[in-house]
Amino acid sequence: MYTTPADWKWKTIIEPHRIKTVEPLGFTSRKEREEVLSKAFYNVFNIPADKVLLDFLTDSGTGAMSAEQWSAIMRGDESYAGAKSFYNFEAAVRELTGYDEIIPVHQGRAAERILFSFIGGPGKAIVSNSHFDTTRANVEANGAEAIDLPVKGALEFDKPAPFKGNMNITALKETIKERGPENIPLCVMTITNNSLGGQPVSMENLREVHKICAAHGIPVFLDMARFAENAWFIKQREKEYAGTPVKDIAHEMFKYAEGCMMSSKKDALVNIGGFLALKDQKWAARARQILILGEGFPTYGGLAGRDLEALAVGLREVLDENYLAYRVRSIEYFGEGLRRHGVPIIEPPGGHAVYVDVKRFLPNLPSEKFPAQSLVCELYLEGGMRTVEIGTLMFGRRDDNGDFLPAPMELVRIAVPRRVYTQSHIDLAIEIFGEIAKRRNKIRGLKIVDAPPVLAHFTAKLKPE
């Protein structure tokens, strides 16, 4: 674990670790990148990783593990059933969440698939501060409706506010009244709110949402992929928690829910893994039956024993406040650099990524030309930098009449892997953006050549207009 002297006085917040193992980056020429992008059909998910210099596609599973985690991997018990590694993992999750029913899965979307397969269905609605792409897809795959209820002002990207990830309390009450609590089997609170800029949720909001839902018999679940970053923001921005240890803040967050799902590839600091944790024994029994069909026996759930060991260590390491101070400050630094080049971002920067507001950056490109994906491609061409679109390619759709419905936002997410890049890497990324900002009006749009009906952004094929 990290330790920093209590009398640390310097303005510079350094990486609270030193580098022990390195791997080479993918340097390429402009001509080579042009060929790579064309072969990838202008979808950066199709680009080989060794052709990427700075990989900000996602912070999911891309972090660097610690010496303690690698040591734990060597202790992995690979027994098929009842492995010691499972019980170490189970104890770590129980210690953090306070929930008794702990179900490992290979990653977060597996937990979503399992949960929504037995609580969803036609006529049902899942309410959330904001569903992310796989969450929404798993809700809808079972015939239910995913309803986002973001707080007022969440889409005013240029206006800072401390907790723009909150749920709109008034809208929640109205939705429960309109749909009927019997038709809302679950309320999902995503912490931090990934789709809307990695913005945090306040403890006050969590408490109020739980109170309202409990009064109507609606369970609350946390999508807790970035729970530690959310807890850090609560400590920094909610006055009553200024002196509270982040670990205690996290414990309180879980009190305002009946369960949680986690992609452990984020704040558990591992490269694979996830879990479903809950209080309800009946739900847990149903979940484990589905788990056996698609993931594996309940004490491994699609993971090796070594993965479970590393995950258990990561859940404890991530709550170190020196790590969290460095993590959040590095994202702030990134945002400051983009502002200097006139690049509009969601304000304030979140905990895991900087989000560029492409509608303001490329106002001349309509949604039908996929402006956010166009910027993603331009960033790769300019400097071998891979990012991800959160806009019409990801969330656009057609209505029952076949009419095109663009997404309400056009964002490019620059997700920073944990414990991987140094300040000089971030400085280069800022420099790349600066060059593009000088010629933003020359960026061309894209059109779709081929795309599947669900989660199209992963495999869609595009070409320039």
pLDDT of residue 362: 97
Summarised one tens digit per residue, pLDDT across range 223-238 is 999 999 999 999 999 9
Q: Cβ(439)–Cβ(449) under 8 Å? A: no
Inform me whether the pLDDT recorded for 376 exceeds 90. Answer: yes
Is 171 in the same domain as 48? no
| Residue 15 included in any domain | no
pLDDT band of 133, cuts 50, 70, 90:
confident
Task: Express each pLDDT in 150-164 by its tens digit.
Answer: 999 999 999 999 999
- In this prediction, residue 15 has a pLDDT band, given cuts at 50, 70 and 90, of confident
With respect to residue 16, please indicate whether it lies within any of the assigned structural domains.
Answer: no
Q: What is the total count of domains within the chain?
A: 2
457-463: average pLDDT: 88
pLDDT at 6: 64
Domain membership of residue 235 (yes or no) is yes
Residue 6 lies in a domain: no
- The whole-model pTM stands at 0.93
Same domain, 98 and 170: yes
User: What mean pLDDT do residues 369-396 have?
Assistant: 94
- pLDDT at residue 4 above 70? no
Examine residue 399 and state whether it is found in any structural domain, yes or no: yes
CB 389 within 8 A of CB 370: yes
In a domain, 22, yes or no: no
Question: Is 340 found in the same domain as 279?
Answer: no
What average pLDDT score do residues 353-378 get? 95
Do residue 153 and residue 205 come from a single domain? yes
14 is a domain residue: no
294 and 370 share one domain = no
Position 2 scores a pLDDT of 62
Residues 313, 347, single domain; the answer is no
Is residue 25, in this structure, part of any structural domain at all? Answer: no
The closest alpha carbon to 44, from 366, 465, 458, 336, belongs to: 458
How large is the average pLDDT for residues 291-312?
96
454, pLDDT greater than 80: no
Statement to judge: residues 333 and 402 lie in one domain = yes
pLDDT digit string, tens, across residues 241-265: 999 999 999 999 999 999 999 999 9
Mark whether 135 and 264 lie in a shared domain: yes
> Rounded to whole angstroms, how far apart are CA atoms 209 and 204?
9
* Residues involved in catalysis: 80, 132-133, 223, 225, 266, 457
Q: State the CATH number of the domain containing residue 418.
A: 3.90.1150.10
Is 94 found in the same domain as 38? no
Domain range for 272 is 67-317
Are 125 and 257 in the same domain? yes
- 311 shares its domain with 454: no
Nearest to 410 by CA among 460, 376, 459, 453: 376
C-alpha span between 267 and 273 (Å, rounded) = 11
Q: How much is the pLDDT for 93?
A: 98
* Last residue in a domain, options 258, 285, 317: 317
**Of the residues 270, 285, 317, which one is the last residue of a structural domain?**
317
Tell whether 284 and 405 lie within a shared domain.
Answer: no
Q: Which pLDDT tens digit goes with each residue over 386-430? A: 999 999 888 877 777 777 788 888 999 999 999 999 999 999 999
Residue that is last in its domain, among 317, 345, 380: 317
Instruction: Give the pLDDT score at 403.
Output: 77
pLDDT at 132 over 90: no
